């Protein structure tokens, strides 16, 4: 292992050293190339300077020859081209002072020669006038360049070999060859840079203050005038044309219902031998109104000696008279709080009559504590569990339900089970793994089991003695006489004559 690590370290060290060497060599090559480039650029500039000096010297000699030839021509009466001022304007300060030096006497003699010459042909007069105008422009240049006024210089420097222009007699051809030089004088004419001062003229910025005029924002105080929102108190003008189907019977809803109120269901045919009971269960303990989460309608046919039970889902959305469309489990509490005739049962009875067309004769209502007390009097509740149920429960009914550790996830298995009062309440309330409709079926099973155990224990024969205790547990509008009229049927009723109805989601609901 150590040998392998050492080998890896050596390899990595070699790679680093090689990289450093290659980097150093590359940098040296790069630096040498830069130096060579600079040397080459310097040599090129020197060659250019040499050519410029030679060219200026040759031009000076050439002009001197031309000037001499012009004098001789004038003596013979010939007209020479006025190339002097053109060259003077074209050469300017680009020539070094060393090669452009001319004595003042030479300059004066050159000007005198130019002035004593015979008047040239009309085609050359503009050139003479050009010289007169060019010289002032040349004198406008700084004082360190006075030699650029005229390049008619008499110098004894030999003409360089690279300027084979001794054929001065070709005046026409010399004019054509020399004239391109002054045309290369855009340097003096390229002074439009100061004239290229349209920048001051771009002072439309002060005038470009449409921003100040672009103050329609204050004029956009249009929003205050846009107060049609008060006119949006349009809802009061919509009288709840709740000439609904309820007008003349119930009060018009204060708030518009979320869904239309349905028409009242026609009253079902009544049979004097049929008595309808409404069994209610509250979700409270120790009194109070709360929500009515258990609603089972029990219809007893005394002539046929049959019983039918129907579970009403607590979330059934119905019209609650004098209220609005709402869940049916709120009807009892609304009747209690609104002083409805008959209280909570009165409004619940009217709600079922309006929405279902069934007239209720009596009711009985219990809460959690009342239900467990009845089961305790029966000695427990025997039920047949046809499907295992899983839900949270207290480990012991005596524990504090607000403490999370006091709860456990419990599964009630299939089979015949004897439930304690707490577990009987758990059985009829559980819906974590089931539904509200399935819970209604279990509630009807529990009622049938309670009736069966009461009959087997002979409690119906003791109704008179048990009645005072019963009315302490169960809230009801029934009298002892009403109960005694049903005792014979309760004793002789056959289990097979008890029917249970619970709707199916998507089919009945």
Any idea what DSSP says for residue 258?
Answer: S
Q: What is the mean pLDDT of residues 225-230?
A: 50
Least confidently predicted of 24-33, 47-56, 226-235:
226-235
pLDDT at 108: 40
Q: What was the pLDDT predicted at 75?
A: 45
pLDDT of residue 286: 82
Reported as a pLDDT band with limits 50, 70 and 90, residue 130 is very low
Alpha carbon 137 to its chain's center: 70
SS3 478: coil
Predicted local confidence at residue 295, as pLDDT: 97
Better-predicted residue by pLDDT, 57 or 35: 35
pLDDT for res 226:
52
Share of the chain above pLDDT 70, in %: 63
**pLDDT for the residue 169:** 42
For residue 283, the Cα-to-chain-centroid distance in whole angstroms is 45
Strand 475-476 vs strand 362-366: parallel, antiparallel, or unpaired? antiparallel
Whether 419 shows a pLDDT value over 50: the answer reads: yes
d(CA 41, CA 150): 33
The string of DSSP letters for 270-335 reads P-TTEEEEEEEEES-SSS----EEEEEEEEEETTTTEEEEEEPPTT-EEE-TTS-EEEGGGHHHHH
Q: Is 85 in contact with 135 (CB distance < 8 Å)?
A: yes
Average pLDDT value for the chain: 75
DSSP character for 411? E
Distance CA 114, CA 130 (A): 13
Each residue of 100-125: pLDDT tens digit? 333 334 434 434 433 444 344 433 44
Domains of the chain (ranges; CATH) run 28-187 (no CATH), 277-284+295-315+361-501 (3.40.630.190)
Q: What is the pLDDT of residue 62?
A: 73
Give whole-number Cα distances, 466 to 254, 286, 371, 376, 463, in Å.
Answer: 46, 21, 16, 15, 5
pLDDT of residue 199: 53
Model pLDDT, residue 65: 77
What per-residue confidence (pLDDT) applies to 29? 93
pLDDT > 50? residue 166: no
What's the confidence (pLDDT) of residue 51? 76
* Residue-level pLDDT at 47: 82
Nearest to 415 by CA among 373, 386, 444: 386
pLDDT band at 263 (very low <50, low <70, confident <90, very high): very high
Q: What is the CA radius of gyration of the chain?
A: 62
In angstroms, rounded to a whole number, what is the distance separating the alpha carbons of residues 6 and 40? 51
Q: Say yes or no to pLDDT of 155 above 60.
A: no
pLDDT tier for residue 311 given thresholds of 50, 70 and 90:
very high
pLDDT of residue 59: 73
- State percent of the chain over pLDDT 90: 49
pLDDT at 17: 94
Say if residue 498's pLDDT is above 80: yes
Q: How many residues does the chain have?
A: 509
The predicted-structure confidence for 359-403, as pLDDT tens digits, reads as follows 999 999 999 999 999 999 999 999 999 999 999 999 999 999 999
pLDDT digits (tens, 9 = 90+) for 325-362: 999 999 999 999 998 999 999 999 999 999 999 999 99
The CA distance from 2 to 234, in Å, is 91
Alpha helix positions (H), 77-215? 84-91, 97-100, 104-116, 125-139, 171-178, 180-183, 186-189, 192-195, 198-201, 204-207, 210-213
Helix (H, G, I), strand (E, B) or coil at 31: helix
The pTM for the full model equals 0.53
Quick one: pLDDT at residue 170? 44
Provide the pairing of β-strand 306-311 with 498-501. parallel
Select, from the ranges 24-33, 48-57, 467-476, the one with the highest average predicted confidence (pLDDT).
Answer: 467-476
Q: Which residues pair with 417 in a beta bridge?
A: 383
When comparing pLDDT for 84 and 44, which is higher? 44
Backbone angles phi, psi at 467, to 5 degrees: -60, -45
CA 42, 48, 49, 51: dihedral to nearest 10 degrees? 150
pLDDT at position 60: 74
Q: pLDDT of 67-92, one tens digit each? A: 666 444 444 444 444 434 333 333 34
Q: Which residue has the higher pLDDT, 168 or 213?
A: 213
pLDDT band at 45; cut points 50, 70, 90: confident
Q: Output the pLDDT for position 99.
A: 38
Residue showing tokens 């303990």: 285
DSSP 161: T
Q: What is the pLDDT of residues 180-199, one digit of tens each?
A: 444 444 444 444 444 454 55
Q: Supply the pLDDT for residue 88.
A: 37
Average pLDDT score over residue span 219-225: 48
In terms of pLDDT, which residue wins out, 373 or 52? 373
């Amino acid at each position: 292992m150590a040998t392998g690590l050492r080998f890896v370290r050596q390899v990595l060290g070699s790679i680093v050293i090689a990289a450093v060497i290659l980097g150093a060599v590359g940098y040296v090559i790069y630096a040498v190339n830069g130096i060579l480039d600079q040397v080459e650029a310097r040599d090129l500039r020197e060659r250019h300077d040499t050519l410029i000096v030679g060219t200026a010297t040759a031009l000076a000699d050439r002009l001197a020859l031309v000037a001499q030839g012009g004098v001789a021509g004038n003596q013979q009466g010939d007209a020479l081209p006025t190339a002097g001022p053109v060259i003077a304007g074209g050469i300017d300060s680009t020539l070094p002072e060393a090669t452009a030096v001319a004595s003042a006497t030479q300059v004066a003699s050159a000007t005198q020669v130019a002035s004593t010459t015979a008047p040239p042909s009309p085609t050359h007069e503009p050139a003479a006038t050009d010289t007169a105008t060019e010289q002032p422009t040349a004198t406008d240049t700084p004082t360190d360049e006075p030699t650029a006024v005229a390049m008619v210089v008499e110098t004894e420097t030999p003409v360089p070999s690279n300027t084979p222009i001794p054929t001065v007699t070709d005046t026409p051809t010399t004019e054509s060859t020399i004239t391109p030089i002054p045309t290369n004088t855009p340097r003096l004419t390229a002074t439009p840079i100061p004239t290229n001062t349209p920048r001051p003229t771009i002072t439309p910025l002060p005038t470009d203050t449409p921003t100040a005029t672009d103050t329609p924002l204050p004029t956009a105080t249009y929003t205050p005038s846009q107060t049609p929102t008060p006119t949006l108190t349009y809802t009061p003008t919509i009288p709840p044309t709740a000439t609904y189907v309820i007008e003349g019977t119930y009060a018009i809803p204060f708030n518009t219902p979320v869904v239309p109120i349905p028409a009242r269901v026609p009253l079902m045919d009544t049979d004097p031998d049929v008595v309808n009971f409404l069994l209610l269960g509250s979700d409270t303990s120790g009194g109070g109104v709360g929500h009515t989460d258990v609603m089972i309608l029990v219809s007893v046919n005394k002539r046929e000696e049959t019983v039918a039970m129907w579970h009403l889902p607590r979330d059934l959305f119905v019209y609650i008279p004098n209220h609005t469309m709402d869940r049916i489990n709120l009807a009892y509490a609304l009747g209690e709080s609104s002083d409805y005739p008959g209280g909570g049962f009165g409004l619940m009875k009217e709600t079922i009559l309006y929405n279902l067309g069934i007239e209720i004769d009596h009711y009985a209502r219990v809460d959690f504590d009342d239900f467990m007390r009845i089961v305790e009097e029966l000695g427990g509740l025997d039920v047949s569990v046809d499907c295992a149920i899983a839900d949270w429960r207290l480990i012991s009914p005596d524990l504090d339900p607000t403490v999370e550790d006091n709860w456990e996830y419990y599964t009630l298995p299939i089979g015949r089970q004897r439930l304690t009062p707490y577990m009987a309440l758990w059985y009829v309330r559980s819906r974590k793994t089931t539904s509200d409709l399935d819970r209604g079926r279990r509630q009807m099973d529990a009622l049938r089991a309670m009736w069966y155990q009461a009959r087997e224990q002979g409690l119906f024969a003791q109704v008179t003695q048990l009645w005072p205790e019963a009315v302490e547990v169960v809230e009801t509008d029934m009298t002892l006489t009403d109960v005694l009229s049903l005792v014979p049927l309760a004793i002789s009723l056959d289990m097979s004559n008890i029917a249970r109805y619970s709707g199916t989601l998507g089919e009945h609901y």
